[in-house]
Chain A
Amino acid sequence: MTPSVLIPILYLSVLVAAGIIQLWSLRNRDRLAPFGELVHRIMHYRITRIAVIFTWWWLGWHFVVA
């Protein structure tokens, strides 16, 4: 398998793993908090909110504008 195929498969694997973990956590909230709950918690402090919003905004900038 060439790296040009393997690397996208690795990205996809992480995405699929994230999806499976999220679905599992939605059904097992008492064992693993869903992603939304985690984000809600980390957004408690303003410094984190600013950093998260910058990161989200930059993804828009990077893929659409830059």
Chain B
Amino acid sequence: MLAKLKSINPWIAVFVFLSLFHLTRGAFGDATIFTIATAILILEKLGKFSRLHSRKPDLSRGLVAGISLVTGVILYVSPRHSLLDAILLLVLLPVALYLVWQPDLGRKPKALPEVRKAKFVWFYLILAISVVELFAFYMSLIIDNDYVYPTVSVVMDAPMDNPIGRAIWIIIWVLSGISLLKVWRKSK
């Protein structure tokens, strides 16, 4: 039993939890997103996606800058929660997944001690913010008031409705996407 639990990929476990969490809080859109993501992760774990493309696609920096600029401008100019934002994000998801879909290149080398320490530190930072968020969420449910124990979403509402706050958030989100997708650095 323990061996079976250990064999479950931690990302699948986290995504199953997130699907159920969003389902129980009545956020059916988020629950659907995480359920689809979980299904994709399970299919990936079962080796069903091995023949899509063989190496990471190389995009020109001009194209990356253009897509990033258009994305940023649309997200900034169009009203928050608009259909245009939804369409843009729905187009970006498969593109982003395609850009990281290249097959694995062998086993991961053993982590250096400084990397192991960083993993530990960042894990506990993410855990800390998740615990505060969960506490705020359940307290809000118990007292039926979103503003006494504000979740991250409630705290972020005011800055996201402010033009400067929204611009900062969009810049951070777009740049972190470029960084995660590794589309700016040129392959050697």
Report the bound CA distance from A9 to B147 in whole Å. 14
Report if A39-B41 is in contact (Cβ < 8 Å); known contacts: A46-B103, A66-B29, A66-B30.
no
A38 in contact with B122 (CB, 8 Å): yes
What DSSP secondary structure best describes chain A's contact surface? helix
Q: Which residues 30-79 of B have a CB within 8 angstroms of A?
A: 30, 33-34, 37, 40-41, 44-45, 49, 75
Chain B nearest CB, measured from A2 CB (Å): 8
B103 in contact with A8 (CB, 8 Å): no
**B96 nearest in chain A by CB position:** A53
Taking CB atoms, residues of chain A closer than 8 Å to B44 are 46-47, 50
**B44 nearest in chain A by CB position:** A47
Number of interface residues of A (CB under 8 A): 48
Number of interface residues of B (CB under 8 A): 66
Question: For the complex, is B164 an interface residue (Cβ under 8 Å from A)?
Answer: no
Chain A nearest CB, measured from B42 CB (Å): 9
A60 in contact with B149 (CB, 8 Å): no
B41 in contact with A51 (CB, 8 Å): yes
B115 in contact with A37 (CB, 8 Å): yes
Chain B nearest CB, measured from A36 CB (Å): 7
Chain B nearest CB, measured from A34 CB (Å): 7
A47 in contact with B149 (CB, 8 Å): no
Q: Please name the 3 residue pairs, one residue from A and one from B, whose CB atoms are nearest each other, closest first.
A: A49-B100, A51-B11, A33-B118
Residues of chain A whose beta carbon lies under 8 Å from any beta carbon of chain B: 2-4, 7-8, 10-11, 14, 17-18, 21, 25, 29-39, 41-54, 56-66
Residues of chain B whose beta carbon lies under 8 Å from any beta carbon of chain A: 9, 11, 14-15, 27, 29-30, 33-34, 37, 40-41, 44-45, 49, 75, 80-81, 85-86, 89, 92-93, 96-97, 100-105, 108, 111-112, 114-115, 117-119, 121-122, 125, 128-129, 132-133, 136, 139, 147-150, 152-153, 155-156, 160, 169-170, 173, 176-177, 179-182
